[in-house]
Structure 1
Amino acid sequence: MLSLQVLRGNTEEVKSRLAIKQFRQPELVDNIITLDDERKKLQAEFDGTQAKVNAASKEIGKLMAQGKKAEAEEQKVSVSEWKAALEPLKERMAQVEQALQNTLVLLPNLPAAKVPDGKTPEDNIVVREGGVKPDLHADAVPHWDLIRKYDLIDFETGAKITGSGFPLYKGKGAKLQRALVQYFLDYNTTAGYTEYLPPFMVNEASAFATGQLPDKEGQMYHATEDNFYLIPTAEVPVTNIYRDTIVKLDELPIKMTAYSPCFRREAGSFGKDVRGLNRVHQFEKVEIIQITEPDKSHAALDEMVEHVEKLLQALELPYRILLLCGGDMGFTSAITYDFEVYSAAQQRWLEVSSVSNFESYQTNRMKCRYRDADGKMQLAHSLNGSSLALPRIVACLLENNQKENGIVLPQVLHSYFNGSKME
């Protein structure tokens, strides 16, 4: 959530930056400032009236002690009138405060200065590419055919159990999932991230804190009886570990990693773009999260991008890194880098990771703060990234490593899979 201080001190700059995100309601910024002005005016009136009540109450005590009962009674009448005026003031203040908060949460985060202008994914900037696209044999097929050939995932039974988009992994397919999750977690913890296993449902306060509410209600599964939400990513519960927390300066940066299943309702479309593992409603992912000092968060972002890049290099997958334009960024992000891996059989790039710096947008909602070296309270910055999401990684591993006599896994997975090949 953007701070009132930023909105009031840089109003036109805020509107300009929001336009880069293709935000088309700049009048909300002016509405927020108007509501804040009214809130301040009401607060001043309330405080002034309360001060009169307090002063008069003390005076009544003195008058009664002096035997000036008539004068004391006159003061009591004034106090009663002032107290009567306080209640409607309090009600109006609450209404304005609620309207102010309701409007503030409608503003997305401001894009960082280096975020390019643009409306669609076609306007994203390719930062760099790595790896080698494989030359597949003549009879190579896409991953959904390989899944059937090697009996790795049963989509039909998953649909029977739950519904379309809920795959049932089996045999070597389940084993590969487990091997990847363990490798990703080991890779992250070796780099200094503390591992967590969080709850897979969160309450409304947690979903609000990281920006899923009120922006993404339709994308989450909602357990209405208890008002819990199934998590779309481990970012939500893990970042909320530090909600309503004052972090010690010497604890920063905080580096966390977690495995979780992820649940997303988006229906997508029909055709090859969502076939097989290209888009599912439940999938596994390993996440990395950092909480940092503000002046160190963009260096932390670069570090996280490099971390994910080395992970893809270890998996021997061809990849590219994109700096997202304003129109293709998430609501809460200040800057995002996407990682895409080349699917050789489909001959297309598939997104496998997003690494983002939210600056103080999430931490302002969470009230995650720290005291700087001068003892002044500051908002921390939060960042997160996929390290990695499994479905499309599995799709590309299967497709890019298929041989005529089996699927050869990258060297780094041999010990985790307890084998080098699927056949």
Structure 2
Amino acid sequence: MKKNFNPVINVIKKWNSISLIKRIICGLIVGTILGLAVPQASAISILGNLFVGALRGVAPLLVFFLVMSALSQMRKGQKTNMTFIVMLYMLGNLLAALSAVLASYIFPITLTFSKNTNTADIAPPSGVTEVLTNLLMNVVDNPVNALVNANYIGILAWAVILGLALKKAGDGTKRALENISDAIATAVKWIVNCAPFGILGLIFTTISEQGLNVLLDYGMLILVLVGTMLFVALIMNPLVTFICTRKNPFPLVFTCLKDSGITAFFTRSSAANIPVNMELCKKLGLSEDTYAISIPLGATVNMAGAAVTISTMALAAANTLGIQVDFLTAIILCVLSALSAAGASGVAGGSLLLIPLACSLFGIPNDIAMQVVGVGFIVGVIQDSCETALNSSTDVLYTACAEFRDRRKHPELYTTNAPSGENQGQSEVYANSVK
């Protein structure tokens, strides 16, 4: 009987020996071909739904037990670099919003509102106060409810509280937490290994349901949104990385975009990409005590792509209505967008609900602002994918920047050996950053 399974096992081993990125590219190609050739084969979409569902299902447990285990075993005086990481997150939001404002001045956009888009059931927040209040209320959410609803702010808060409380627990309890955390991490590896099939289903769904023609009427808007996000990813982020590491930033930037941005592009959820980002942080040799907290926190507050979307769409609405926006007001919009983006939901389309908040700065009535949200949903097939890729990859990038900056300043506190199992590109990133 064993011999009958040998060919299957050999095929699986051969498949797993191929790099994940190459397998994902295969899934992309096959999904695109199937979406164009047999769009009626809706059963293929199940692969994408299963993949995203599995990631969303395991992520809350991973964050909860990983943070709790890390904090319970943290030694007194151990560094986590969290203060600097949070500063980078907020700086990234602000720089992204500023980039969007400048792009909108250079390439002014006007909108054609769609009468067919239903936004009647959408309830955007009424102001920044409501956004921040919601964030604070999420902190004190019932821990079971936070796990069930994937409220990562609440999950983090309770994991930190329990982790600190368990620092005085016995070694057996701490080992049990560590074993549970390791078991969940292993399950995450199995799920991430299925990414090529999940992405095949996701790209099939996009191509078969949306097609390509729906985007042509909004081509200029998409170009400005995507172009600004590329500017942030390839110009602003490398600049911040260089300032932190004093080394060539592009190996690290491209590693984050390749290993985190690609999967985030198709899952369209920063929350669902948390397990992927934690795996990447581990491969980069970052401190688990830091990334166990910074990655789930970044999935909630590090929203550079959302800041771009909010600023661009609000200014496009102002241009459409003939409202003149002076530079001082634009700067206020940058700050508002950066703060609002930190409260954007880490799920697909989460930033769109904050557009009315930015539109209110220009006195744009809510019914018009909701039509802008409707346009956002139309272009969301591209905009939201690029936005999530930028958001999620930057979570890892800024976490790495903070640690590599600290390694540069305090090399005696860190080992100089790269973690085992890295590929050549990751080894180069590690070596460039810790020398």
Task: Sort the TM-score into its range (normalised by shorter chain).
Answer: under 0.3
**Greater fraction of residues in helix:** 2
Higher relative contact order (CA 8 A, sep 6+): 2
Larger Rg: 1
**Greater fraction of residues in strand:** 1
**TM-score of the pair, normalised by structure 1:** 0.24
**TM-score of the pair, normalised by structure 2:** 0.24
